[in-house]
């Protein structure tokens, strides 16, 4: 069993919860009296326009989930207005632009005016309660303003990561029938410029629902504008009032839709609602990051993913925190970028993904060594299992052995963190997300669908009963929501991950059990990548598997059958990669493409991915005797042509 790291004394001294007995007692109570527990928290954390009388009403037999349903409130009021009296001049957002030295401080008072102006702008464009607004922006303050402006008027936002292609963007616009799209003329990511507006033009070409495209000017380059449809935000905002009364909403009105990949079909638009989501993100932000009023909290995720929604915008702002918004990349202009920023801003909590830690580890200790990093207390990790090596590097070279690492396990569907250490109480083990948070009851299910009651034990990770941050449905397809998460194991939420509980009760997340890949912390379905490759006229059939990758965690390996004779293999491989870049986005491009003449299949015609996975990872010994396979010749050919 791996080494345990005790709670650093200086972290324990200050912590909100600093005795293990306190955690266990509260945890027990939270499960025994779930509704009482959350009702108390809901009144502590949120400001209600109308109090609720019923705490929860959930039924996993139909996938019905409701929290505080007769309560009313406004999320933007909770994130902004209620702080104005005591925190008006406090920085709400510290924006770090792409170029070193490019920055902006936005106080709560300024955030209030900006969000009101954005809200009025949307109203002037005809957006009202329940309408969907797609946000396709780089990590600039306008992204947060847009999200909060939607929340203010009851519109439902759907942020699309600015690395997605025109086709992916178009599919999302179509699926949610967006009325308005907010984008920027261009995006900046390190040395690269991304033509967001022209990507958007392509995406909205056939979109009947889109009445207006709002363009934020990020660069001074020339931009094509279609008259009557496209508007510069600066022009619309010039006449928008900086006052806008927040609309009173029901707790279960939708707040946003966020698309995420699954094992089959097109990405699902997961719906999160107002009160439960806000409560859960605020609550977990406070306890997992041991949040105190004078902290400088910094999560370097992108708002295009759930981490940015919950732990850059909603959770921290609901708590009145100062939250950093980072536009650049970890290595621009050099691999000291994060560490420089931490020293300059005095960051106390820093939250990133294992893939970034591994990339920076490769650049060497000389980068963090240039900086003191002494303001840091809590270091967070999210998105994929963190390997021991990366954990130790983070702990030693960034945290200087005096910070707590919180390895936070959760999902787009869960809204917020479910399993994580608590800084003041949990002894950590590198690579383990440790223990469930309050109100969360993780269960392991074996291959027969039975609960694993032994410790140690392993199985498919499920969660018994609901928590307020849980996603409520798939937009426009509740059956799909039910089928994906609740049908197979009655009474449980099925996470799609495998996990182990060790003899000390620590949870270790072992990765996905379905055909979902976690590439640099980005979730991609193998089926989604395969159908993207189908767009390439050179390919008749493709099979995609994940392989271990030093930095990305999981790399993408594509086996393709060519539609005709290939003259240049390099060109053909490039074609395939480029097709995926265009159809999904650059981050989904395969690392390896191998052309084959056939794929191993079962008698019923299903591709034998298990075999392909082994070949792609070079795990050839465990293939066993190839000659016994139906497709032995195919397998031999694939083995001999393997890319590495
Ligand atoms: C999947 C969810 C949660 C926000 C970012 C990703 C994997 C997430 C961990 C962790 C091991 C993790 C799981 C999960 N995952 N955090 N700390 N340890 N695995 O959200 O895109 O919805 O992906 O990410 O496989 O199911 P997402």
- On the 0-12 / 13-18 / 19+ scale of CB atoms within 10 A, 501 is buried
Reported confidence tier of residue 241, pLDDT bands at 50, 70, 90: very high
Could you tell me the distance, in angstroms and rounded to a whole number, from the CA of residue 23 to the centre of ligand 1? Answer: 24
- pLDDT at position 536 over 80: yes
DSSP string, 178-212: -SEEEEES-EEETTEEE-HHHHHHHHHTT-TT--E
How confident is the model over 219-230, as pLDDT tens digits? 999 999 999 999
Neighbour tally for 252: CB within 10 Å: 19
Q: Is 469 close to ligand 1, i.e. is its CB under 6 Å away?
A: no
Q: Domains in the chain: how many in total? A: 2
Q: Please check whether residue 479 is in contact with residue 462, taking contact to mean a CB–CB distance below 8 angstroms.
A: no
Reported confidence tier of residue 604, pLDDT bands at 50, 70, 90: confident
Angle, CA of 268, 269 and 273, to the nearest 5°: 140
How confident is the model over 475-495, as pLDDT tens digits? 999 999 999 999 999 999 999
Bridge partners for 328 per DSSP: none
The answer for 282, left when phi > 0, alpha when psi is -120 to 50, beta otherwise, is: alpha
**CATH code (residue 560):** 3.30.300.30
Mean of pLDDT values over 517-523: 93
Closest atom of ligand 1 to 511 CA is 25
Reported confidence tier of residue 68, pLDDT bands at 50, 70, 90: very high
What are the start-end ranges of the E strands in 18-148? 56-59, 64-67, 72-73, 91-96, 103-107, 132-136
What confidence score (pLDDT) does residue 624 get? 72
- pLDDT at position 55 over 80: yes
What confidence score (pLDDT) does residue 426 get? 98
Which of these three, 197, 228, 246, is where a domain ends? 246
- pLDDT at position 386 over 90: yes
Judge whether 172 lies within some domain.
yes
What confidence score (pLDDT) does residue 263 get? 82
Classified as helix, coil or strand, 382 is: strand
What confidence score (pLDDT) does residue 387 get? 95
How confident is the model over 162-181, as pLDDT tens digits? 999 999 999 999 999 999 99
Could you tell me the distance, in angstroms and rounded to a whole number, from the CA of residue 523 to the centre of ligand 1? Answer: 8
CA distance 80 to 147: 13
Mutate to test the pocket of ligand 1, among 509, 522, 588 (most ligand atoms within 8 A of CB): 509
Could you tell me the distance, in angstroms and rounded to a whole number, from the CA of residue 382 to the centre of ligand 1? Answer: 6
- pLDDT at position 65 over 90: yes
- pLDDT at position 626 over 70: no
Judge whether 102 lies within some domain.
no
Classified as helix, coil or strand, 31 is: helix
How confident is the model over 416-467, as pLDDT tens digits? 999 999 999 999 999 999 999 999 999 999 999 999 999 999 999 999 999 9
Q: Is 328 close to ligand 1, i.e. is its CB under 6 Å away?
A: no
Q: Is 466 close to ligand 1, i.e. is its CB under 6 Å away?
A: no
State the chain's mean pLDDT as an integer: 96
CA distance 226 to 594: 43
Judge whether 340 lies within some domain.
no
What confidence score (pLDDT) does residue 625 get? 67
Bridge partners for 132 per DSSP: 156
Reported confidence tier of residue 602, pLDDT bands at 50, 70, 90: confident
Mean of pLDDT values over 297-322: 98
Cα 642 from chain centroid?
33
Judge whether 198 lies within some domain.
yes
Range of the domain at 164: 117-246
Q: Is 509 close to ligand 1, i.e. is its CB under 6 Å away?
A: yes
**Closest Cα to atom 14 of ligand 1:** 411
Instruction: Say which residues have a Cβ less than 8 Å from residue 267's Cβ, sequence separation at least 6.
Output: 168, 171, 172, 259, 260, 261, 525, 528
**Closest Cα to atom 11 of ligand 1:** 385
What confidence score (pLDDT) does residue 628 get? 63
Could you tell me the distance, in angstroms and rounded to a whole number, from the CA of residue 378 to the centre of ligand 1? Answer: 19
Judge whether 152 lies within some domain.
yes
Reported confidence tier of residue 608, pLDDT bands at 50, 70, 90: confident
- pLDDT at position 1 over 60: no
Judge whether 626 lies within some domain.
yes
**Closest Cα to atom 12 of ligand 1:** 384
Q: Is 485 close to ligand 1, i.e. is its CB under 6 Å away?
A: no
Q: Is 408 close to ligand 1, i.e. is its CB under 6 Å away?
A: yes
Which of these three, 246, 267, 301, is where a domain ends? 246
Judge whether 571 lies within some domain.
yes
Mean of pLDDT values over 505-513: 95
At residue 86, φ and ψ (nearest 5 deg) are: -100, -20
Closest atom of ligand 1 to 496 CA is 26
Judge whether 549 lies within some domain.
yes
What confidence score (pLDDT) does residue 264 get? 81
**CATH code (residue 190):** 3.40.50.980
Q: Is 284 close to ligand 1, i.e. is its CB under 6 Å away?
A: no
Q: Is 268 close to ligand 1, i.e. is its CB under 6 Å away?
A: no
Q: What does the block give as tokens for 13?
A: 């001294």
Helix then strand count (H, E) for the chain reads 22, 30
What confidence score (pLDDT) does residue 629 get? 67
CA distance 159 to 36: 34
Could you tell me the distance, in angstroms and rounded to a whole number, from the CA of residue 629 to the centre of ligand 1? Answer: 35
What confidence score (pLDDT) does residue 627 get? 65
Which of these three, 231, 246, 261, is where a domain ends? 246
What confidence score (pLDDT) does residue 607 get? 86
């Amino acid at each position: 069993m791996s080494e345990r790291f005790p709670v650093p004394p200086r972290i324990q001294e200050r912590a909100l919860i600093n005795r293990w007995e306190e955690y266990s007692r509260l945890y027990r109570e939270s499960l025994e009296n779930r509704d009482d527990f959350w009702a108390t928290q809901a009144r502590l954390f949120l400001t209600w326009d109308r109090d609720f009388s019923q705490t929860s009403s959930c039924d996993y037999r139909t996938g019905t989930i409701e929290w505080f349903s007769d309560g009313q409130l406004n999320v933007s009021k909770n994130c902004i207005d209620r702080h104005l009296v005591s925190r008006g001049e406090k920085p709400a957002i510290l924006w770090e632009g792409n170029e070193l030295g490019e920055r902006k401080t936005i106080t709560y008072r300024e955030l209030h005016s900006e969000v009101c102006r954005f809200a009025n702008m949307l109203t002037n464009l005809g957006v009202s309660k329940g309408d969907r607004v797609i946000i396709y922006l780089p990590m600039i303050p306008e992204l947060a303003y847009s999200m909060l402006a939607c929340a203010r008027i009851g519109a439902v936002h759907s942020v699309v990561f600015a690395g997605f292609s025109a086709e992916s963007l178009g599919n999302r616009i179509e699926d949610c029938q967006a009325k308005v799209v907010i984008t920027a003329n261009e995006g900046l990511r390190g040395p690269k410029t991304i033509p967001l507006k022209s990507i958007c033009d392509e995406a909205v070409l056939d979109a009947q629902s889109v009445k207006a495209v709002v363009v934020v000017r990020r660069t001074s380059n020339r931009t094509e504008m279609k008259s009557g449809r496209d508007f510069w935000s600066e022009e619309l905002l010039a006449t928008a009032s900086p006052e806008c009364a927040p609309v009173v909403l029901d707790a279960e009105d939708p707040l946003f839709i966020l698309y995420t990949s699954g094992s089959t079909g097109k990405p699902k638009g997961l719906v999160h609602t107002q009160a439960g989501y806000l409560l859960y993100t605020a609550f977990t932000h406070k306890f997992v990051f041991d949040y105190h009023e004078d902290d400088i909290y910094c999560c370097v995720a992108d708002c295009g993913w759930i981490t940015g929604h919950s732990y850059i915008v909603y959770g921290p702002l609901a708590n009145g925190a100062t939250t950093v918004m980072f536009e650049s990349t970890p290595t621009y202009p050099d691999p000291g970028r994060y560490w420089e920023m931490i020293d300059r801003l005095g960051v106390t909590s820093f939250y990133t993904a294992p893939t970034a830690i591994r990339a920076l580890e490769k650049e060497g200790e000389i980068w963090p060594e240039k900086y003191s990093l002494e303001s840091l207390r809590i270091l967070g990790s999210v998105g994929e299992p963190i390997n021991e090596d990366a954990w130790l590097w983070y702990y030693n070279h960034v945290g200087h052995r005096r910070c707590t690492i919180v390895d936070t396990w959760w999902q787009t569907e869960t809204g917020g963190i479910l399993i994580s250490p608590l800084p003041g109480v949990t002894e950590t083990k590198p690579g383990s997300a440790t223990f469930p948070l309050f109100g969360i009851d993780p269960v392991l299910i074996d291959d027969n669908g039975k609960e694993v009651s032994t410790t140690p034990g392993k199985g498919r990770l499920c969660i018994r009963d609901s928590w307020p941050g849980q996603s409520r449905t798939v937009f426009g397809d509740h059956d799909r929501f039910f089928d994906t998460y609740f049908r197979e194991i009655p009474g449980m939420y099925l996470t799609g991950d495998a996990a182990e509980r060790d003899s000390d009760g620590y949870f270790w997340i072992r990765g996905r059990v379905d055909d979902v890949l976690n590439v640099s912390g980005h979730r991609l379905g193998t089926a989604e990548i395969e159908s993207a490759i189908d767009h390439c006229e050179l390919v008749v059939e493709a099979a995609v598997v994940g392989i271990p990758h030093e930095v990305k965690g999981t790399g993408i390996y594509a086996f393709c059958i060519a539609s005709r004779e290939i003259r240049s293999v390099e060109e053909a491989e490039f074609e395939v990669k480029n097709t995926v870049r265009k159809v999904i986005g650059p981050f989904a491009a395969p690392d390896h493409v191998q052309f084959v003449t056939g794929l191993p299949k079962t008698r019923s015609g299903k591709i034998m991915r298990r075999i392909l996975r082994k070949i792609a990872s070079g795990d050839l010994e465990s293939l066993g005797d190839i000659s016994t396979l139906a497709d032995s010749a195919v397998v031999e050919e694939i083995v001999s042509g393997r890319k590495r």
